[in-house]
Amino acid sequence: MSEGALAGLRVVVSAGPTYEDIDPVRFIGNRSSGKMGFAIAAAAAKRGADTVLVAGPVTLASPAGVDRRDVRSAAQMHAAVLAALPADVYIGAAAVADFTPATVAGGKIKKRPGGGGLVLDLVPTADILAEVASHPLRPRLVVGFAAETGDLEANALDKLRRKRLDMIAANRVGVAGGGFESDDNTLHVYDAAGVRVLGPAPKTRLADDLLDLVAARLS
Ligand code: C5P
């Protein structure tokens, strides 16, 4: 990696899960540790980028030299990412909830003795990545992630086109040796030029390799 390769550029990274509150004590979340996004933000700052890290609820320490903005919900992440524009690069590594409760109950929802189940009314969240890629302040490079259990290539290419991305890093979840909560992963990075396989390797190493691809696209 070349220190200073991203000097003078502004890089915005989203990381971690989002929590969608159901009532004051419960939420809908997902199995994201935030490690990949934090490693990317650390690597971007090390290369001299002015780096904003929009972080969902995680227990990770802030990387050196990063402007961290903590959020909880998809709506808060959406607002924080848009507020961080304009930028040269956006890397959406967060596992944003696709649905959120239509209303948040003011008090703890009780189970009724002999009562039936609970039906939650969920509404879709905004697709932050797609919105950034179609924004009037669109960064020069918009990079997405795709965690897939099925056909990696077909799903990644579909997201690349549909969300109007420049690059997408896809990984398998639900398999041994990679994914959401692990320190290691394998990334299949798709762009107009084809695919490159990074890893299996620690997420810190993958972050460096991914930023090499980003820096090459910007030069
Ligand atoms: O469509 P899917 O959720 O699998 O796409 C994953 C990519 O889209 C990730 O880069 C994620 O950060 C981003 N995303 C987003 N906002 C959403 C859902 C996903 O930015 N509401």
**Eight-class DSSP state of 179:** S
Amino acid 112: pLDDT: 84
Domain borders along the chain are 10-104+119-218
pLDDT tens-digit profile, the chain (219 residues): 567 889 999 999 999 999 999 999 999 999 899 999 999 999 999 999 999 999 999 999 999 999 999 999 999 999 999 999 999 999 999 999 999 999 999 999 998 888 889 999 999 999 999 999 999 999 999 999 999 989 999 999 999 999 999 999 999 887 655 556 678 899 999 999 999 999 999 999 999 999 999 999 998
Cis status, amide bond into 200, omega within 30 of 0: yes
> Across the chain, where does the E strand assignment appear?
10-15, 20-23, 26-28, 50-55, 66-70, 89-92, 99-101, 122-124, 141-148, 167-172, 184-191, 194-202
* Fold classification of 10-104+119-218 (topology level): Rossmann fold (3.40.50)
Measured from the CA of 129, which atom of ligand 1 is nearest? 20
Is residue 155 part of the annotated active site? The answer reads: no
Ligand 1 lining (C-beta closer than 6 Å)? 14, 74, 92, 94, 96, 98, 125, 127-129, 144-146, 159
* Cα 6 to ligand 1 centroid, rounded to whole Å: 25
Q: Positive or negative, the Cα torsion across 168, 171, 173, 179?
A: negative
Give which of 142, 139, 131, 147 is closest to 36, Cα–Cα. 147
Amino acid 81: pLDDT: 99
pTM of the model: 0.95
Q: SS3 sequence, 141-174?
A: EEEEEEEECCCHHHHHHHHHHHCCCCEEEEEECC
Q: Is 165 exposed, middle or buried (0-12, 13-18, 19+ CB in 10 A)?
A: buried
Residue of 129, 134, 190 to test ligand 1 pocket, by largest number of atoms within 8 Å of CB: 129
Distance CA 204, CA 206 (A): 5
Q: 120 Cβ partners below 8 Å, 6+ apart?
A: 22, 101
